[in-house]
Amino acid sequence: MYLKSLVLKGFKSFADRSVLPFEPGLNAVVGPNGSGKSNISDAVLWVLGERNAKHLRGQAMEDVIFAGSTARKAVGVAEVDLVLDNTDGTLPVDFSEVVLTRRLYRTGESEYLINGAVSRRLDVLDILHDSGLGTGTHSIISQGSLDSILQSRPEDRRALVEEAAGVLKHKQRKAKSERKLASMDAHLDRVRDVVGEIE
């Protein structure tokens, strides 16, 4: 799976529809200060389901809607499409291309779409689960969090590397299985007691 393109319309500084194509492998976005580079990573985070406006460098969620400039008036809706190549089947859906869309109207209404079909935020999270992509994962690292990662304790940094390598989810599954095993052991003990009493 890789990010094929990002389409922004009315999102932050991107008043007009802008299509950003990406290639497999490393891509770089370059531009002068204030030209909107961080707004692009905000858009990715947002379309993946981010609910905290502060994580998008705003006060309220409405701040993602283009607020107008000297040359243009504000718009009423922000929309982002994230186009993922899924030919390797990383995402558990029968599509070789998955388009995730999020819209927010100034009236407060919002919607998510998956390949054009109206969906819930939960459906988007479900599709991304296990892909390593999502708001809770460290697939997007802001300038501020980069500093805190560099200054974090070695154990915390190790947890980040494990998450990136996909080890964390196996650790969580292992812990869950161990809890289940412990509860089964307790049940078995109780059954043995009952059997002992009968005999």
Count of residues engaged in binding ligand ATP, rule: CB under 6 A: 14
Is the sign of the CA dihedral 148, 152, 155, 158 positive or negative? Answer: positive
- The annotation status of 41 as a binding-site residue, yes or no, is no
- Residue 82's SS3 state is strand
With the C-alpha atoms ordered 31, 161, 135, 53, is the resulting torsion angle positive or negative? Answer: negative
- Inter-CA distances, 168 with 160, 161, 174, Å: 9, 9, 10
Which is nearer to ligand ATP, 66 or 112 (by Cβ)?
66
- Ligand-binding site membership of 36 (annotated): yes
Q: Does 45 bind ligand ATP (CB under 6 A)?
A: no
Q: Are the C-beta atoms of 149 and 160 separated by less than 8 Å?
A: yes
- In the complex, minimum distance from the CB of residue 41 to ligand ATP, in angstroms, rounded to a whole number: 8
- Cα–chain center distance at 135: 3
Site stretch for ligand ATP (CB under 6 A), options 17-25, 61-69, 94-102, 153-161: 61-69
| Window 3 to 42, contacts with ligand ATP (CB under 6 A) | 12-13, 31, 33-39
Residue 46 as a binder of ligand ATP (CB under 6 A): the answer is no
Residues making up the binding site: 32-39
Residues making up the binding site for ATP: 32-39
